[in-house]
Amino acid sequence: MTIKQRFLQALAVSTLAAGMLLAPTAQAADAYVTLDPAQPSDTAGKIEVLEFFAYSCPHCFKIEPLVKKWAATLPDNVVVRAVPVAFNASMQDLQRLYYSLEALDRLDLHDKVFAAIHNEHKRIYTADAIADWIATQGVDRQKFLDTFNSFGINTKISRASELADQYKIEGTPSIAVGGKYVTSPSMTGSYESTIQEAQKLVDMVNP
């Protein structure tokens, strides 16, 4: 095994380990935590639901279809925003990937990224590997890299890190509601229960 292969293997292990910090376990005493102080919404006039996730997290991959299905049922005054989390420097390129797809209006590839990592076992954890994969999806490689390394993406990365700190996110997936509450599979015991709890929290802040 070459040095580069060893590095990529170690990187994959570290990112997966970070993403598994909040694996589903037996239900905790409380199915959610309350933030103090509550956080303001970044979307004027809307109740925000923040989905904190990491592409390398297998639990995020599992819950994503449930989040998407649930989001489609929410009222117009509720907005769901995905927030990619980086628990260490090795995860930052995957953060950049999400925001680059958003900036290029190619979030149709969001689910494909999850599938590439978790179903196809592709090691798309570094900028070069990500750009190579993106090119196979019909996106101009240089245009993607220009976006990937842009000031605008740097700004979004900084904001995502701020949100993770403000919401005290220690693992993924985690769902924050209305700037007041956070729930996760480790609190509820399952992916399905997490969505049910998130709906209850939406009802609490949007009676």
Q: What are the 10-residue block averages of pLDDT along the chain, 207 residues in total?
A: 40 41 51 94 93 98 98 96 96 97 98 98 97 97 98 97 95 97 96 97 92
Quick one: pLDDT at residue 30?
87
Query: What's the CA gap between 75 and 107, in Å, rounded?
Result: 22
Residue 53, beta-bridge partner list: 84
Number of C-alpha atoms within 13 angstroms, CB side, residue 197? 23
Quick one: pLDDT at residue 67?
98
Query: What's the CA gap between 181 and 31, in Å, rounded?
Result: 10
Quick one: pLDDT at residue 29?
61
Quick one: pLDDT at residue 163?
96
Quick one: pLDDT at residue 165?
96
Strands (E) across the chain are located at 33-34, 47-53, 78-84, 174-177, 181-183
- Per-domain boundaries in the chain: 3-205
CATH of domain 3-205: 3.40.30.10
Quick one: pLDDT at residue 17?
41
**Closest alpha carbon to 198 in 60, 110, 80:** 80
Cα dihedral: 101, 9, 7, 89 (round 10): 50
Quick one: pLDDT at residue 90?
93
Quick one: pLDDT at residue 16?
41
